Structure formats: structure tokens, C-alpha cells
Amino acid sequence: MGQLGNMNSEVERLFESAGDALSDDIIARLAETSSELLCIADRLARSEGLTRLLDLLEREHIVNSLVELGEAAAAAKASHAPEAKGGIGGMVKTMSDPDVQDALVFFATMFKEFKKG
Amino acid sequence: MKILIVGGGMGGTILANNLARRLRNELKTGKASITMLSASDKHMYQPGLLYVAVGKMNPSELYRDQASLLEPSIEFKVDPVVEFDLDNNSVKSQSGATYSYDVIVIATGSRTHAEGTPGLAENAEMFYTEADAVKMYRRLEEFEGGKVVVAVGVPHKCPMAPLEITFMLIDYFKQRGIWDDVHLHYTYPIGRTHSLEPVAKWATPEFDRMGVTYETLFNMKEVTTDTVISEEGSEEKFDLLVTVPAHKGMQVIEDAGMGAGGFIPTDRQRLNMEGRDNVFVIGDTTNLPISKAGSTAHFEAEALAENIASMVTIGTATRDYDGKVFCFIEAGEGKATYAMFNYQNPPDPKEPTAGIHWFKTAYNKMYWASARGLL
């Protein structure tokens, strides 16, 4: 009983101090933020665009592609590739790299599909 | 079904959004349409004016763009109605356009009628427009003590306003340290301190405890620069007169002969205009003998939205409005209480608490979620 009584008194003091610490301004700001978040959440929840995007994100190959894209971007940024020298010779050399050709095919296909949509 | 909503205040906005959510598919397929005609592109949180009058809110906090509050599927036009042709299911607007409808909802609200009492508008402070609320605050700032009289006209918007402004004035004067130099005198038109008996039973001892004097059966007849005279024959001298003036419905309703004083005779449960099955009325525009409060408009809008949606989907209404009203009462000293009632159950205000005051403070900011149909 003693311990329970102490706990009750602690909880009571906690609420009392929380009440004393609050002000109308704090309450108003918290309420305003909650209200705005609620409105954003509602719009997102009812957005057809977001629903379709979420559907896509549930497909494994889409997720894999996005992950690969992210990893590739991170690797490209981390790699210390030499600066491009420029000129037609440099361009021909880059374009003859099979990985670069794969990347171009990927982006070409993606933009083709994007235009269809 | 073409649904036309006249008025973009609290009731019209909540109704439009609620309907748009319920009729999402019908709006998409063209089976239904919702058009709102409003007098302004701005939406004002009117209960906030009370706080502006005592320096607790800034007017800029009270406004949002009306279009930003509405569901995208609602057609919104700033084009107030100037003429109703209910026999032919159409209205004419200020731009000269004619709008036809299958169902119309009239939510045009009310306005103050201070000019109905000689001298009142010139000699009293009030808080029902932004300009008036700011003017009242400036007047309060200049006030250094003396007799303050609160005088009330009928009918008026927000039944709790006379009590709330009285309690908030006490707080204001205390915060300025001049309460000891103020004599606050509250007057009320009927034989008790509030129209709702349980509220009067709660408020009267609060007045006694706080040192507010009061006089009942006081109906304003005339106001001079320093005296308010009642129909009953008494006179009250004042240094500052604060009034909750009488209200009227909008001019366009009066001009159309749709209801005495601009208040339309309305069925208390189905909310249709008496004698018309496709004309509905909500908010201050009704002649229902219940509070002209934002919460009334809110709960009416919810019931009506359900009914109109049912009319579209199954051809008949399904719900009655039960008269529900919920009014916060700012009770001063950082506390508040509330009155909730309906056609069957009277209010029963409890001891004011800080928690309810915070709830009210929070609601002042969460109103926008309410207008969007979320709360």
C-alpha cells in the first residue's frame, strides 16, 4: 500500500507539474501542429496518387530497382573516378563501356514507358 | 443531383466537405455535383473574435482561404446570392448568373442589428466583426477603471457570449491590475442570468463569488453616451458599455420574404424549410429556438450531410437532427466549462477546470480540421 500510495503521489505530482508548465500558447501551438498534421495525413490517406505509388512500392522488382538506383548513386559519389577529359575521343571511350550502355538502355526504356503513361 | 450550398461559413463548409466525402464516387461519375456560393474568398473563425477583443488572439489567426478548406471536388464561387426563386429551383447571384439546383442548402448566417437600439452602435463596444473586436480591445487598453456594464440584445449569436465576455473581462482587468477599480455590472433580458436555466444556476453564484453585480429583466431601449436605459424603466450609468447586440438573419433572406427577421422557418428534425422538401436550412439562418452557435451549425451539417447523401444514393433521408449543441464557456481564472444539450436533455454545466480551458484553447486552433470535415 505504501509503495502504491507513493506511486499515486508521484503520478499526481507529474500531472500537476505538467499542468503548471503548460501555457495557453504551448497548448495552442501543439493543437495547431496536430491539426495541420491531421489534415496532411487525411490528404495523403485519400490521395489516389499516393495509393498507386504505395501499390508500386509493394512490387519486389520495383523496390529492387530503386534500391539498386540508390546504391549506384551512392557508389558513383564515393568512387574516385578520374575527371572526364572531354573531346570526341573521351566520349567514344565512355560510350564503348558496356556498363554505360546498359545504363543508357535502362534510362531510355524508363522514359519511353513514362511517355506512354 | 445538383446540390447548391449558399454560404461558406462554418455550417456550409462542414456540410460541403462532409457531403463530398460521402459522395466521392457519385461526384466522380457525375451522378452528383456540389456547388458553393459564398460572399467571401476568406473563411473566418468567428468564435475567435471574443479573444481578439481582450487581446488573447490576433486577427490574422482567424482567417484561411475558403478554397483551401474545401474538397477539390466542390465547385466554389465567390458570388453571393441576391435572389431566391424557390418555385423554379434556381437562384440569381451578384454576378448576374443563374444557378439551378435539385437540392439547396441555405447557410447564410446572421448579422448584428445594433442599429435597432438607438445609440447602441455609437456608444457601446462589441466583438462580432474584426473591426469591432479590435476597436473594443483598444478601448479596453485606454480604460483605467470605473463602471463597466454588459448589456445583451435578443436574439443573439452564441448563447454563452454574454457570460464569457464578462468572465474574460474580469481576467483582463485583473491582469492589468485594475480590477479593484472596476465595478462590473451584468444585465440580461429575461428573469435570470442566462436563457438556459441550469447555466443560470451555475453562473449566478460565480458572479457573486467574483463580485459581479447583475440585473435581470433588462431589455435595452436606448443608449446615451453614459447611460443605458431599459424597456423596463431602469437606467444604468456606465463608463464603458460592452454589448452582445441583437442579431438578424441576412438581408437577402428578409428581402425574399422567406422568414421574419431573416430567420427561415425550419423543421427541427429534417432541417428542411417548412413547406419545401428540397430546401434545407442550417446554422444561424434557421428559426429554431436553439442556440445560434458554431456547434449547432456543425451538428446540423453532419445530420444533413448524411440525409442528402442518402437522398442521392437510396432516394430518401435517414436521420433526424436531435438538437445537439455543445458550447464551451470560458469561466475566467484560466478555467472553462461547457454546456451540452439537445431537444431532450438540458445542459448541466460542471465546475470549471483548467483542462477544459485548454481544450477550448486547442479547439480554437483545431477548428480548421473541423471545417475540413475531420473532427
Closest CB to B374: pick one of A24, A28, A39.
Answer: A39
CATH code for B117-246? 3.50.50.60
At A77 the pLDDT is: 80
More confident position, B254 or A74: B254
pLDDT in tens, B28-61: 999 999 999 999 999 999 999 999 999 999 999 9
- CB within 8 Å of chain B, chain A residues 23-52: 24, 27-32, 34-35, 38-39, 42
Alpha-helix runs per DSSP H in B143-217: 161-176, 197-210
Question: Under 8 Å CB-to-CB from B167, ≥6 apart: which residues?
Answer: B206, B210, B329, B330, B331, B332
Q: Do the two domains B2-109+250-313 and B117-246 of this chain adopt the same fold?
A: yes
- CB within 8 Å of chain A, chain B residues 354-373: 354, 357-358, 361-369, 372
Least confident of A49-53, B227-231, B291-295: A49-53
Question: Under 8 Å CB-to-CB from B336, ≥6 apart: which residues?
Answer: B328, B329, B330, B352, B353, B356, B357, B359, B360
pLDDT in tens, A22-46: 889 999 999 999 999 999 998 888 8
ipTM: 0.81
Fold entry, domain B2-109+250-313: FAD/NAD(P)-binding domain (3.50.50)
At B170 the pLDDT is: 97
At B356 the pLDDT is: 94
pLDDT in tens, A4-25: 788 888 888 888 888 788 889 9
Chain A residues inside the 8 Å CB shell of B369: 35, 38-39
pLDDT in tens, B207-217: 999 999 999 99
Q: Hey, are the CB atoms on A24 and B372 less than 8 Å from each other?
A: no
d(CA B298, CA B302): 6
CA A101 to chain centre: 29
pLDDT in tens, B118-172: 999 999 999 999 999 999 999 999 999 999 999 999 999 999 999 999 999 999 9
Q: Hey, are the CB atoms on B366 and A35 less than 8 Å from each other?
A: yes
Up-side HSE of residue B11: CA atoms within 13 Å toward CB? Answer: 28
Closest CB to B369: pick one of A28, A29, A39.
Answer: A39
**Average per-residue pLDDT in chain B?**
97
Closest CA to B6 of B110, B112, B91, B111: B91
Q: How confident is the model at residue B1 (pLDDT cuts 50, 70, 90)?
A: very high
At A49 the pLDDT is: 86
Taking CA–CA distances from A42, the nearest residue in chain B reads: B374
In this predicted structure, the answer to whether residue A117 has a pLDDT above a threshold of 70 is: no
Mean pLDDT, rounded, for B331-347: 95
Whole-number percent of chain B with pLDDT over 90: 99
In this predicted structure, the answer to whether residue B277 has a pLDDT above a threshold of 70 is: yes
At B341 the pLDDT is: 95
- CB within 8 Å of chain A, chain B residues 24-83: 56
Q: How confident is the model at residue A3 (pLDDT cuts 50, 70, 90)?
A: confident
Distance from CA of A117 to the nearest CA of B (A): 21
d(CA A24, CA B336): 13
Cell representation of residue A35: 491539426
Please state the domain extents for chain B. Answer: 2-109+250-313, 117-246
Closest CB to A19: pick one of B56, B354, B361.
Answer: B354
Please state the domain extents for chain A. Answer: 86-117
Mean pLDDT, rounded, for A64-80: 85
Strand segments (E) across B128-272: 146-152, 182-187, 213-215, 220-223, 227-230, 235-237, 240-244, 247-249
Question: Do residues B364 and B47 touch, judged by C-beta distance below 8 A?
Answer: yes
d(CA B81, CA B138): 35
Closest CB to B366: pick one of A19, A31, A42.
Answer: A31
Q: How confident is the model at residue A1 (pLDDT cuts 50, 70, 90)?
A: low
Distance from CA of B319 to the nearest CA of A (A): 26
